[in-house]
Amino acid sequence: MTSFCIHGVGVSSGIAIGHAHLVSNALLEVVHYQLPQHLINDEIIRFSNAIFTVKQDLGKINSGLRKNAPAELSAFIGTHLMMLEDKSLSEIPKDIIKNERCNAEWAIKLQMDDIVEQFELIEDEYLRERKQDVIQVVERVIKVLLGHPSQLSTEQQTSALNEERKLILVAHDISPADAIQFKQHEFAAFITDVGGITSHTAILARSLNIPSIVALQKARDLIRDGELIIVDGSQGVVIVNPDKNILTEYKLRQEQWELEQQKLQRIKSTKAITLDGTSIDLYANIEVPEDVVAVSASGATGIGLYRTEFLFMNRREMPDEEEQFIAYKTVAEAMKGAVVIIRTLDLGADKQMNPDTVVTCANPALGLRAIRYCLSEPQIFHTQLRALLRASHFGNIKILIPMLSTLSELRQTKLLLERAKISLRKQNIAFNENIALGGMIEIPAAAINADAFAKELDFLSIGTNDLIQYTLAIDRTDDAVAHLYNPLHPSVLKLISMTIKAGEKLGKSVSVCGEMAGDAKLTKLLIGMGLRQLSMHPSHILTVKQQILHSQLSKLSDNARKILSLADIEKIEPLVAKFNAPSDLRLK
Ligand code: PEP
Ligand code: MG
């Protein structure tokens, strides 16, 4: 077995050693697990039911086609239906389940690979391309299997997956909707071929609290299922089939890293105060209510960003008011009176409800997302606002609006919020009448006009992930331009500084809740610029706190002023590195 290295962009630190578990493609999470003999029959029934459901779905689509729909559409569905009738797809996978004692998804995928291989041998190009039909129809079946109510519980899957060895998830690409499902699995690391450092997939990878690397280009092709790999998330390096010496070296480094993490636990309940006595609020970012467990364990003193859109993913129907209310209330109550900033729906761009949604607009990041989407769907927004208001009776909830660019969006939002309040008053439902309303500053237009937003809002929160994307015109999900994505770009720093000043002038709090807040190399700069509130993934809280505990604010303000006066990124970077002297980082 040849040993080799692949380099990518590390998005979550730490070292993992385990066996590769290849994900079949971007849309689907096809895991392979073995079943005990007594579950085999159930699995075959599950498979047959899925085939039946897909046939029904296709039948419905066919009969729902408009009369003037192109004839190819009906023929296309007919082909898929025929394929499902064929023994090779409807029967052989059952034999595979029986013989290999494997799950249905894996069985039909194996069979699909076999059929596709045969198609590949056909000389006629048109016929050869029919393999796409096989892939598409199998994808349909797998999707039904994955979402089927009789699907094996995640606990069963997880224990089957982790029976003997640590698994490292290797994928070409994973949508945020897919990634959120991985929270239920226990992978040791997560690596993908594509993705930018602040793509939502990377953010989720980070929130899994396991080493992760993106932008590895060809990892999915080069690594084989089951191969032993080392993932060094801090360096962005994957080592495939390491030899004995390398393995020993990395085991040692892994131990050291874990030891450092343990040491950090010592400052968990220490207040985040600089050497000259300024207190900094360190809040956590969460995606799902279950994340509050990690928040409590991290020592965060509140939640600075709850991204509610993840509640809307991987499902056909939007969550209703009651379901949303319970989710928000659960978080608010779990935080026992500490601040919980809940952001309204930020769907769109790389965050779609379903991982297989085909985005048709040319520039989804510039399209109908976040507040723009909510204002265009007032009923959906109304439902969420009512749920948030109701939950505000049970804790210290504040509402945060994403992607504001104009004051009129803010004013429309306020009207809708008032309308939601009126409807609750009419029903005598309790809520916090004075609930605070904040806005995300993540579009340059909003940062430049931050004064005006600060006047009409209770607080501001800087979303640096999008602010950098829109200021530098760099798609945050595109690894081809990831090297240009730089938080230290002078224009980005100036926009952040303008927002902080606007908040200071109007006495409104300003925080950063983008990934910059969790990067310990930037902590001194950010607090030197005047930030007193940072919100980040829980796993970053302690490293950031450690920086704060070693900071002399008066010195940092001078340093930040120097940095802000520079127009050249090449001069800024070394200066920031200098302010982070390694001696400051060590725990005493
Ligand atoms: C941001 O843009 O920085 C942010 C916090 O929001 P999101 O990453 O969800 O777009
Ligand atoms: Mg954003």
Q: How do residues 520-570 score in pLDDT, each as one tens digit?
A: 999 999 999 999 999 999 999 999 999 999 999 989 999 999 999 999 999
Question: Residue 516 in contact with residue 487, Cβ under 8 Å?
Answer: yes
The segment(s) of the chain belonging to CATH 3.50.30.10 are 4-24+150-263
Q: pLDDT tens for residues 476-517?
A: 988 888 889 999 999 999 999 999 999 999 999 999 999 999
Residue 181 has pLDDT above 50, yes or no: yes
Q: Which helix (H) or strand (E) holds 314?
A: none
- Atom 4 in ligand 1: which residue has the minimum CA distance? 463
Distance 506 CA to ligand 2 centre (A): 24
The segment(s) of the chain belonging to CATH 3.20.20.60 are 268-579
Nearest to 282 by CA among 95, 551, 50, 511: 511
Distance CA 290, CA 330 (A): 9
| Cα atoms in the Cβ-side hemisphere of radius 13 Å centred on 140 | 20
Architecture of the domain whose range is 4-24+150-263:
3-Layer(bba) Sandwich (3.50)
The segment(s) of the chain belonging to CATH 1.10.274.10 are 27-145
Pocket lining for ligand 1, CB < 6 angstroms: 203, 305, 307, 346, 442, 463-466, 513-514
Q: Which CATH number fits domain 27-145: 3.40.50.1100, 1.10.274.10, 3.90.105.10, 3.90.1010.10?
A: 1.10.274.10
HEC assignment per residue over 123-169: CCHHHHHCHHHHHHHHHHHHHHHHHCCCCCCHHHHHHHHCCCCCEEE
Mutate to test the pocket of ligand 1, among 311, 313, 346 (most ligand atoms within 8 A of CB): 346
pLDDT at 1: 72
Atom of ligand 1 nearest to the CA of 402: 6
Atom of ligand 1 nearest to the CA of 307: 9
pLDDT at 356: 58
At which residue do the structure tokens 């894996």 appear? 106
Distance 292 CA to ligand 2 centre (A): 21
Atom of ligand 1 nearest to the CA of 442: 2
Distance 368 CA to ligand 2 centre (A): 13
Percent of the chain's residues with pLDDT above 70:
89
Distance CA 563, CA 524 (A): 12
Distance 463 CA to ligand 2 centre (A): 5
Q: Which helix (H) or strand (E) holds 516?
A: none
Whether domain 268-579 has CATH 3.40.190.80: the reply is no
pLDDT at 131: 76
Question: What are the counts of helices (DSSP H) followed by strands (DSSP E) for the chain?
Answer: 26, 16
Distance CA 335, CA 337 (A): 6
pLDDT band at 69 (very low <50, low <70, confident <90, very high): low
Residue 154 has pLDDT above 50, yes or no: no
Nearest to 78 by CA among 99, 94, 61: 61
pLDDT at 147: 67
pLDDT band at 588 (very low <50, low <70, confident <90, very high): very low
Average pLDDT over residues 357-366: 77
Q: Is the pTM value of this prediction over 0.85?
A: no
Q: Which of 149-158, 242-251, 310-319, 386-395 has the lowest mean pLDDT?
A: 149-158
Distance CA 543, CA 475 (A): 28
Residue length, the chain? Answer: 588
In terms of DSSP bridges, do strands 459-462 and 509-512 run parallel, antiparallel, or are they unpaired? parallel
pLDDT at 586: 38
Q: Which ligand is nearest the CA of 203, by number?
A: 1
For helices 553-564 and 490-506, angle between their N-to-C axes, nearest 10 degrees:
130
pLDDT band at 163 (very low <50, low <70, confident <90, very high): very low
- Atom 6 in ligand 1: which residue has the minimum CA distance? 463
- Atom 8 in ligand 1: which residue has the minimum CA distance? 465
Atom of ligand 1 nearest to the CA of 346: 9
pLDDT band at 401 (very low <50, low <70, confident <90, very high): very high
Neighbours of 582 (CB within 10 A): 7
pLDDT at 206: 77
What is the set of active-site residues? Answer: 200, 513
Question: Residue 344 in contact with residue 371, Cβ under 8 Å?
Answer: yes
Structure tokens at 307: 């991204």
- Atom 3 in ligand 1: which residue has the minimum CA distance? 463
Q: Which ligand is nearest the CA of 196, by number?
A: 1
At which residue do the structure tokens 């009419």 appear? 426
Q: Which ligand is nearest the CA of 515, by number?
A: 1
Q: In this structure, what are the phi and psi dihedrals at residue 17, rounded to the nearest 5 degrees?
A: -125, 125
Q: CA 465, 470, 475: angle at the middle one, nearest 5? A: 75
Atom of ligand 1 nearest to the CA of 466: 2
Query: 355 vs 528, which has greater pLDDT?
Result: 528
Query: 218 vs 160, which has greater pLDDT?
Result: 218
Structure tokens at 569: 């990124």
pLDDT band at 194 (very low <50, low <70, confident <90, very high): confident
Distance 515 CA to ligand 1 centre (A): 8
Question: Residue 41 in contact with residue 25, Cβ under 8 Å?
Answer: no
Q: pLDDT tens for residues 418-436?
A: 999 999 999 999 999 999 9
Q: Which of 107-116, 127-136, 230-239 has the lowest mean pLDDT?
A: 127-136
pLDDT at 129: 65
Mutate to test the pocket of ligand 1, among 344, 369, 466 (most ligand atoms within 8 A of CB): 466
- Atom 1 in ligand 1: which residue has the minimum CA distance? 463
Distance 369 CA to ligand 1 centre (A): 12
Q: Which ligand is nearest the CA of 517, by number?
A: 1
